[in-house]
Chain A
């Protein structure tokens, strides 16, 4: 670059943004408690914290969506006031939201142009917008078709549209709110390449995350928040994952829980050449065969969308098997209804916990008994036995450490971690014979993740057969006795714990068979 003050987009750099003593109070919570935070041109500053630690609140203040009760913001050393996203954009601050702020029914160009004045007055000037989009995209080698409709794009591509949108508006500082949460590992790598280039070019990036290895990999500095308070800021090179985790949670965190030595028992769940369709009409599963024993966790690894959802759904009775058989303890349960599988003590922890795991507008107590509400002791002769339900719920709330104001609280008002605890409590407390756990820790913070993993190991110890479907390789490796890799609906291979190295799994996940096979 010739002009050191300019970014490749032509925008002037932001040398520094400083937030001083920022406080924000919501009814009943101090979401941000005198927090200091700053970011400079040419660095990635990671903002790390558990869910509810105040990361998003702080950043929404910087982006003008919330107004701080106390504190000030300085741009290049001068105090500024930001009262709306429009103000933030005018100061060169852009935000990539965790849930993309795109209109699916509009084209890329229309999404980018939305809200901006047009060179043609009241008429849109999409040709011009498209040209500029292509210019900006070429700087970072992003492939983007301005005329494509957003609904046609993959999640990774949509994220690029968000970046372009911010650059188009002249952003010199980007707030990236959990940008990797929705990406596949490959997309994350591509995304990091773009981030590296942007930092080199002089952008200031704020990276919000609760994934430690990503923070360690990408950031120059890291600030940890906990319960709305800043715990500290450090150069990333001077910290370790373990330090950061302890900071975040406020106590020592056990990354690799003790698995103990468990003797596995008889086969509890068996799939024999199971095939099924998918929502897209293409085959979902292709002749999948596997067995899970009592006292065993079988991990199912794979890149998102390779049949994991179909696998969980068919076993749970939510999707029709087109050929093959499923056995639960020697009984052929192929295409049994979910209710019958419940009777046979199969438990299911679904991937979409808010949609499939519970009823948002039901109370904690009602959700706790969803699966067995029609049976003793929760009801008799069609009448709910509210007293017994209440006793049962109280027991589970304390046993599973569910943080809820009361059992009458609606599920939707709880945090993701607590919602998952309710699902776990309901599914596990009945002492199931087999458990299907689909992405059980996705989106949970470290504390809750640790808890869920402990519970699954506890079930293994008790003698249940556990299928753990996860896209998080660390999780698979930490918990599984054996690992099945699924690719395009087929089980590529099943590896024993000893043979399941990251490299080998990675190849299988990409559909490549390593030369030497290891029978399970």
Chain B
């Protein structure tokens, strides 16, 4: 039975869906990474994703326009980010706790809106796969990498873009300095509050897109609590990736590949209890976190509210 896994078709299938499954993680984790690099831990990613997923789905369903759906998810995510920024930057709230608050808000609110506005599970026709000319014709590779939908491509383009912004722009320099030594940044006229508002709102926006990628590009449905912990994994992936875009990419891929593997194991009916299979990516995450986290230093000002000293 195990040998079924090693046929070419299945392997390509595993890899292709692994690439695809990494999409929501990438959007959410890269967004979260910006926040953390500036010193803000947002545990509300899951809530932002749920509301983003709902907004995208509902708008796409009612208008028939997927792009309006994406836009709605971005706006909803940004608004959630704005609230989070206000609470953590202006009110100096404890970040972990307020993040959990926002998660619960997103969870409840998306469910409420779903009940009130839709009531039953419906489906939309999501973003279709786009075959990249020529490249998609390469056997194997083409199917794995170049026959995905737009949001998948976008997620992978986000990684070098994030790296570039962080390391090559003045904005990135500000973000890094605010996360490491906000007092120094402040003394040089960098507005710590403005930088953090920017990164948290950016994080919220990307979390919204992450939600949208689930509801109108990968699964094409909306259900209560459809993210089921995905947003929290996204936070873990930031640690996992050592607060660096390429590291986050590595983490997201590892996690989604294992996830894809276990899905295929279930599909193929390989006799491993499904509970064990489902656990695999999570157990792996914990293991890798234990091994890697101690080696990489978190931004010094992570979770610390900034206040000018006397």
Q: Check A105 against B190 for contact (C-beta < 8 Å).
A: no
Contact of B170 among A65, A100, A122 (CB under 8 A): A122
Query: Does A89 lie at the interface of the complex (its beta carbon under 8 Å from any beta carbon of B)?
Result: yes
Complex: how many Å from CA A100 to CA B184?
8
CB neighbours (8 Å) of A115 from chain B are 174, 185, 188-190
Query: Does B180 lie at the interface of the complex (its beta carbon under 8 Å from any beta carbon of A)?
Result: yes
Q: Check A124 against B187 for contact (C-beta < 8 Å).
A: no
Nearest CB in chain A: distance from B185 CB, A? 7
Query: Does B116 lie at the interface of the complex (its beta carbon under 8 Å from any beta carbon of A)?
Result: no
CB neighbours (8 Å) of A111 from chain B are 177, 184
Q: Check A113 against B173 for contact (C-beta < 8 Å).
A: yes
Q: Check B176 against A105 for contact (C-beta < 8 Å).
A: yes
Query: Does A101 lie at the interface of the complex (its beta carbon under 8 Å from any beta carbon of B)?
Result: yes
Nearest CB in chain A: distance from B36 CB, A? 14
Query: Does A11 lie at the interface of the complex (its beta carbon under 8 Å from any beta carbon of B)?
Result: no
Contact of B181 among A26, A104, A123 (CB under 8 A): A104
Q: Check A105 against B173 for contact (C-beta < 8 Å).
A: no
Nearest CB in chain A: distance from B37 CB, A? 10
CB neighbours (8 Å) of A122 from chain B are 169-171
Q: Check B181 against A86 for contact (C-beta < 8 Å).
A: no
Q: Check B181 against A103 for contact (C-beta < 8 Å).
A: yes
Q: Check A114 against B188 for contact (C-beta < 8 Å).
A: yes
Interface code A257-281, partner B: CB below 8 Å = 1, 0 otherwise? 0000000000000000000000000
Chain B, Cβ-Cβ closest to A65:
B308
Nearest CB in chain A: distance from B178 CB, A? 9
Chain B, Cβ-Cβ closest to A115:
B188
- CB neighbors of A among B172-230 (8 A): 172-174, 176-177, 180-181, 183-190
Nearest CB in chain B: distance from A257 CB, A? 33
Interface code B49-88, partner A: CB below 8 Å = 1, 0 otherwise? 0000000000000000000000000000000000000000
CB neighbours (8 Å) of B173 from chain A are 106, 110, 113-114, 124
Chain B, Cβ-Cβ closest to A112:
B188
Contact of B177 among A85, A100, A106 (CB under 8 A): A106
CB neighbours (8 Å) of A99 from chain B are 183
Chain B, Cβ-Cβ closest to A99:
B183
CB neighbours (8 Å) of A464 from chain B are none
Complex: how many Å from CA A113 to CA B185?
11
Query: Does A84 lie at the interface of the complex (its beta carbon under 8 Å from any beta carbon of B)?
Result: yes
| Known contacts A101-B183, A115-B188, A115-B190: A124-B170 contact under CB 8 Å | yes
Query: Does A118 lie at the interface of the complex (its beta carbon under 8 Å from any beta carbon of B)?
Result: yes
Q: Check A103 against B176 for contact (C-beta < 8 Å).
A: yes
Nearest CB in chain B: distance from A117 CB, A? 8
Query: Does B275 lie at the interface of the complex (its beta carbon under 8 Å from any beta carbon of A)?
Result: no
Complex: how many Å from CA A26 to CA B310?
9
CB neighbours (8 Å) of B295 from chain A are none
Query: Does A326 lie at the interface of the complex (its beta carbon under 8 Å from any beta carbon of B)?
Result: no
Interface code A81-92, partner B: CB below 8 Å = 1, 0 otherwise? 000111001000
Complex: how many Å from CA A85 to CA B310?
15
Chain B, Cβ-Cβ closest to A95:
B187
Chain A residues within 8 Å of chain B by Cβ, number = 28
Contact of B180 among A26, A85, A95, A106 (CB under 8 A): A106
Query: Does A102 lie at the interface of the complex (its beta carbon under 8 Å from any beta carbon of B)?
Result: yes
CB neighbours (8 Å) of B180 from chain A are 103-106
CB neighbours (8 Å) of A95 from chain B are 187
| Known contacts A85-B187, A115-B174: A101-B169 contact under CB 8 Å | no
Query: Does A97 lie at the interface of the complex (its beta carbon under 8 Å from any beta carbon of B)?
Result: yes
CB neighbours (8 Å) of A106 from chain B are 173, 176-177, 180
CB neighbours (8 Å) of A116 from chain B are 170, 188
Complex: how many Å from CA A105 to CA B190?
17
Nearest CB in chain A: distance from B170 CB, A? 5
Q: Check A103 against B189 for contact (C-beta < 8 Å).
A: no
Complex: how many Å from CA A183 to CA B248?
41
CB neighbours (8 Å) of B185 from chain A are 103, 114-115
Nearest CB in chain A: distance from B179 CB, A? 9
CB neighbours (8 Å) of B300 from chain A are 104-105
Nearest CB in chain A: distance from B190 CB, A? 5
Q: Which of B171, B176, B180, B188 has the most CB of A within 10 A?
A: B188
CB neighbours (8 Å) of A114 from chain B are 173-174, 177, 184-185, 188, 190
Interface code A150-190, partner B: CB below 8 Å = 1, 0 otherwise? 00000000000000010000000000000000000000000
Complex: how many Å from CA A114 to CA B185?
7
Q: Which of A105, A113, A118, A165 has the most CB of B within 10 A?
A: A105
Complex: how many Å from CA A106 to CA B173?
9
CB neighbours (8 Å) of A103 from chain B are 176-177, 180-181, 184-185
- CB neighbors of B among A97-151 (8 A): 97, 99-106, 110-111, 113-118, 122-124
| Known contacts A26-B310, A101-B183, A106-B180: A123-B189 contact under CB 8 Å | no
Q: Check A101 against B177 for contact (C-beta < 8 Å).
A: no
- CB neighbors of B among A14-42 (8 A): 26
Complex: how many Å from CA A92 to CA B186?
18
CB neighbours (8 Å) of A100 from chain B are 184
Complex: how many Å from CA A131 to CA B187?
23
CB neighbours (8 Å) of B171 from chain A are 122
Q: Check A89 against B170 for contact (C-beta < 8 Å).
A: no
Nearest CB in chain A: distance from B302 CB, A? 12
CB neighbours (8 Å) of B310 from chain A are 26
Q: Check B170 against A123 for contact (C-beta < 8 Å).
A: yes
Q: Check A86 against B176 for contact (C-beta < 8 Å).
A: no
Complex: how many Å from CA A501 to CA B253?
68
Contact of A124 among B168, B181, B188 (CB under 8 A): B168
CB neighbours (8 Å) of A84 from chain B are 189
Chain B, Cβ-Cβ closest to A110:
B173
Q: Which of B172, B181, B185, B310 has the most CB of A within 10 A?
A: B181
Chain B, Cβ-Cβ closest to A86:
B189
Complex: how many Å from CA A85 to CA B190?
10
In the complex, given contacts A101-B183, A104-B180, A115-B189, what are 12 additional A-B residue pairs having Cβ atoms less than 8 angstroms apart?
A: A101-B181, A103-B181, A104-B181, A110-B173, A114-B173, A114-B185, A115-B174, A115-B190, A116-B188, A117-B170, A122-B169, A124-B169
Residues of B participating in the A interface, judged by any CB pair closer than 8 Å: 168-174, 176-177, 180-181, 183-190, 297, 300, 308, 310
Q: Give 10 closest A-B pairs by Cβ, nearest first.
A: A115-B188, A86-B189, A101-B184, A101-B187, A115-B190, A103-B181, A103-B177, A103-B180, A115-B189, A105-B180
What are 11 A-B contacts defined by CB distance under 8 Å?
A85-B186, A99-B183, A101-B183, A105-B176, A106-B180, A114-B173, A114-B190, A117-B170, A122-B170, A123-B168, A124-B173
